[in-house]
């Protein structure tokens, strides 16, 4: 081994042992749900040694910046919009797909910003959303369940479903490429407000939501002309947008390998915002222990069985210093339960003085199987859960801080309803998701218009 290489390995070992001192390996001894069935643990270690030394996907200062911005959402001075695929896949990690998803998210953000006059913090489910929790270890065919491209392959074949740690390297490479491309496009004027029209896809423009969007785009043009006519200088903020990356922190091996020390603190640098899912939020479990030691803003999904005391315990564990913006609780209770379950949770947490961002995921509590066997969601139930969430917060005087949706920029037929009135029989026309059904662009825009109205109150 040459001197330089030896130095860099030594440096890595030293900083890594400091992470261990900070407790970043404690999760290994704790009960862990959804552990990937790795056939060979030593192969996992080899991969993690490699990932421990690669350039990270995001930088610590960006993570801090997002946490500070989320603090505004805590106080009702900003709204967070999180959206993207349920599961990213390696084959769909293309320029076309990433840009289509980003445009749809940015269009939603324009509608919310303009329609409700509120700053919108934009967060994509991208550049790392490659793992999925599963409710059963085997699927309908009796094969090991697909756990996301980071773990195994979706093909219904026993060999393809064997967990392969080398996939973590591919996931990292894909995430790095995705983040790099998005940074370049966004920095290069893709999200320039002067070009809002060009984000409207042809297949959407002719729809009711697309027409409403064009109307907003025209108003924005007029506002920009007004600014110019007054001789005011236009700010850089009109030409660029920051899009933060997020994913579920499920594969702890991957998360640990991409954690780095900065200013004596541990940062999970696989993405800006990391969340813990409904199936892995056990208080004494590995996942919560791990993220509790990171400086990142952290989200936790809270389902219909969450008690007010559960929520309180999450706050104590994940944000003991009560830093605003540090913790986001993402309710996903289903439209039939949100009005009953969320209120007491919000009330208890608020009364205890805990600062959290309250985000609504109206997707995961509203999944059902269609008459022809597709996993789907009805647009009306999605809208109704968001409505219930707003009602609860209005009643309690707390702040509805954000929306978390599964969407795509393609004109898929995965969710029912909306102005297109997608029905069960239409689902097979363009059903492409690797996991859960996503809102298509028109449904996403329709939802944004409705949420803008709710935000205006
Ligand atoms: C998800 O966000 O894709 C997910 C699995 O959510 P939840 O943990 O809320 O079921
Ligand atoms: Mn999902």
Tens digits of per-residue pLDDT, 366-384? Answer: 999 999 999 999 999 999 9
Q: What is the 3-state secondary structure (H, E, C) of 396-414?
A: HCCCEEEEEEEECCCCCCC
Q: Please list, in sequence order, all residues whose beta carbon lies within 8 angstroms of the beta carbon of residue 404, skipping any fewer than 6 positions away.
A: 82, 83, 299, 330, 359, 360, 361, 363
What is the per-residue pLDDT for 202? 83
Measured in residues, the chain has a length of 457
Tell me the CA–centroid distance for residue 286 and ligand 2, in Å: 21
Task: Tell me phi and psi for residue 189, to 5 degrees.
Answer: 100, 10
What angle in degrees, to the nearest 10, is found between the helix axes of 441-456 and 95-116? 20
Q: What is the 3-state secondary structure (H, E, C) of the chain?
A: CCHHHHHHHHHHHHHHHHHHHCCCCHHHHCCCCCCCCCCCHHHHHHHHHHHCCCCCCCCHHHHHHHHHHHHHHHCCCCEEEEEECCCCCCCCCCHHHHHHHHHHHHHHHHHHHHHHCCCEEEEEECCCCCCCCCCCCECCCCCECCCCCCCCCCCCCCCCCCCCCHHHHHHHHHHHHHHHHHHHHHHCCCCCHHHHHHHCCHHHHCCHHHHHHHHHHHHHHHHHHHHHHCCCCCCHHHCCCCEEEEEECCCHHHHHHCEEEECCEEEECCCCEEEECHHHCCCCCHHHHHHHCCCCCEEEEECCCCCHHHHHHHHHHHCCCCCCCCEEEEECCCCCCHHHHHHHHHHHHHHCCCCCEEEECCCCCCEEECCCCCEEEEHHHHHHHHHHHHHHHHHHCCCEEEEEEEECCCCCCCCEECCCCECHHHHHHHCCCCCCCCECHHHHHHHHHHHHHHHHC
The whole-angstrom separation of Cα 248 and Cα 122 is 17
The whole-angstrom separation of Cα 121 and Cα 103 is 15
The whole-angstrom separation of Cα 438 and Cα 18 is 41
Q: Which ligand is nearest to the CA of 279?
A: 1
Distances (CA, A) of 327 to 25, 169, 391: 22, 29, 22
Point out the ligand 1 atom lying closest to the alpha carbon of residue 301. Answer: 9
Q: Quick check: 196 and 217 in contact, CB under 8 A?
A: yes
Using 50, 70 and 90 to split pLDDT, how confident is the model at 4? low
| Residue 278 Cβ contacting ligand 1 at under 6 Å | yes
Q: Would you call 351 exposed, middle or buried from its count of C-beta atoms within 10 A (0-12, 13-18, 19+)?
A: exposed
| Residue 281 Cβ contacting ligand 1 at under 6 Å | no
| Residue 324 Cβ contacting ligand 1 at under 6 Å | no
Tens digits of per-residue pLDDT, 65-89? Answer: 999 999 999 999 999 999 999 999 9
Tell me the CA–centroid distance for residue 365 and ligand 1, in Å: 9
Tens digits of per-residue pLDDT, 223-264? Answer: 999 999 999 888 888 888 999 999 999 999 999 999 999 999
Tell me the CA–centroid distance for residue 444 and ligand 2, in Å: 16
Q: Which ligand is nearest to the CA of 433?
A: 2
Tens digits of per-residue pLDDT, 186-210? Answer: 999 889 998 888 888 888 888 999 9
How many Cβ atoms are within 10 Å of 20's Cβ, its own excluded?
11
Tell me the CA–centroid distance for residue 148 and ligand 1, in Å: 13
The whole-angstrom separation of Cα 111 and Cα 445 is 8
The whole-angstrom separation of Cα 145 and Cα 161 is 7
Query: Distance of alpha carbon 38 from its chain centroid, rounded?
Result: 26
Tens digits of per-residue pLDDT, 110-131? Answer: 999 998 899 999 999 999 999 9
Q: Which residue puts its alpha carbon closest to atom 6 of ligand 1?
A: 277
Tens digits of per-residue pLDDT, 296-327? Answer: 999 999 999 999 999 999 999 999 999 999 99
Sign of CA dihedral 290, 293, 297, 298: positive
| Residue 332 Cβ contacting ligand 1 at under 6 Å | yes
Point out the ligand 1 atom lying closest to the alpha carbon of residue 278. Answer: 8
The whole-angstrom separation of Cα 345 and Cα 210 is 37
From 436, 437, 438, 439, the mutation candidate for ligand 1 (largest count of ligand atoms within 8 A of CB) is: 436
Which residues are 80's β-sheet partners?
A: 121, 402
Mean pLDDT of 1-23: 76
Residue owning tokens 């236009």: 234
| Residue 364 Cβ contacting ligand 1 at under 6 Å | yes
Q: Quick check: 434 and 87 in contact, CB under 8 A?
A: yes
Does the pLDDT of residue 1 top 60, yes or no?
no
pLDDT above 70: percentage of residues in the chain: 97
Q: Which residue puts its alpha carbon closest to atom 4 of ligand 1?
A: 277
What is the per-residue pLDDT for 426? 98
Distances (CA, A) of 32 to 26, 105, 250, 280, 281: 11, 33, 10, 8, 10
Distances (CA, A) of 31 to 34, 64, 393: 10, 30, 35
What is the per-residue pLDDT for 206? 87
Structure tokens at 7: 């130095």
């Amino acid at each position: 081994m040459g001197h330089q290489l030896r130095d860099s390995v030594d440096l890595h070992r030293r900083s890594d042992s400091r992470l261990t001192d900070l407790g970043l390996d404690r999760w290994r001894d704790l009960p862990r749900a959804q552990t990937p069935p790795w056939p060979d643990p030593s192969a996992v270690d080899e991969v993690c040694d490699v990932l421990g030394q690669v350039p990270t996907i995001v930088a610590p200062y960006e993570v801090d910046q997002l946490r500070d911005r989320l603090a505004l959402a805590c106080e009702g001075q900003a709204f967070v919009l999180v959206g993207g695929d349920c599961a990213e896949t390696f084959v769909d990690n293309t320029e076309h797909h990433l840009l289509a998803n980003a445009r749809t998210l940015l269009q939603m953000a324009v509608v919310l910003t303009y329609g409700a006059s509120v700053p919108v913090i934009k967060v994509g489910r991208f550049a790392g959303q490659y793992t999925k929790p599963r409710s059963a270890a085997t699927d309908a065919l009796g094969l090991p369940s697909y756990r996301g491209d980071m773990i195994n392959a979706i093909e219904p074949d026993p060999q393809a479903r064997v967990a392969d740690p080398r996939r973590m390297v591919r996931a990292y490479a894909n995430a790095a490429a995705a983040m790099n491309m998005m940074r370049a496009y966004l920095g290069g004027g893709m999200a320039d407000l002067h070009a809002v029209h060009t984000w409207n896809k042809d297949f959407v423009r002719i729809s009711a939501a697309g027409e409403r969007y064009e109307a907003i785009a025209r108003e924005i043009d007029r506002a920009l002309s007004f600014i110019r006519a007054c001789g005011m200088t236009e700010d850089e903020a009109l030409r660029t947008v920051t899009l933060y990356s997020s994913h579920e922190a499920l594969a702890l091996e991957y998360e640990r390998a991409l954690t780095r020390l900065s200013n004596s603190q541990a940062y999970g640098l696989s993405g800006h915002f990391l969340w813990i899912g409904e199936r892995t939020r056990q208080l004494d479990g590995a996942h919560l222990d791990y993220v509790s030691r990171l400086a990142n803003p952290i989200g936790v999904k809270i389902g219909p069985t969450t008690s007010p005391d559960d929520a309180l315990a999450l706050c104590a564990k994940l944000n003991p210093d009560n830093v605003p913006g540090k913790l986001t609780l993402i309710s996903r209770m289903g439209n039939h339960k949100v009005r009953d379950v969320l209120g007491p949770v919000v009330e208890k947490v608020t009364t205890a003085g805990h600062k959290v961002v309250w985000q609504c995921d109206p997707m995961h509590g509203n999944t059902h199987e269609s008459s022809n066997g597709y996993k789907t969601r009805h647009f009306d139930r999605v809208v109704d859960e968001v409505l219930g969430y707003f009602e609860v917060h209005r009643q309690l005087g707390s702040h509805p801080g954000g929306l978390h949706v599964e969407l795509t920029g393609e004109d898929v037929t995965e969710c029912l309803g909306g102005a297109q009135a997608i029905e069960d029989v239409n689902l097979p026309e363009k059903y492409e998701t690797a996991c859960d059904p996503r809102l298509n662009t028109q449904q996403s825009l329709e939802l944004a218009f409705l949420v803008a109205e709710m935000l205006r109150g």
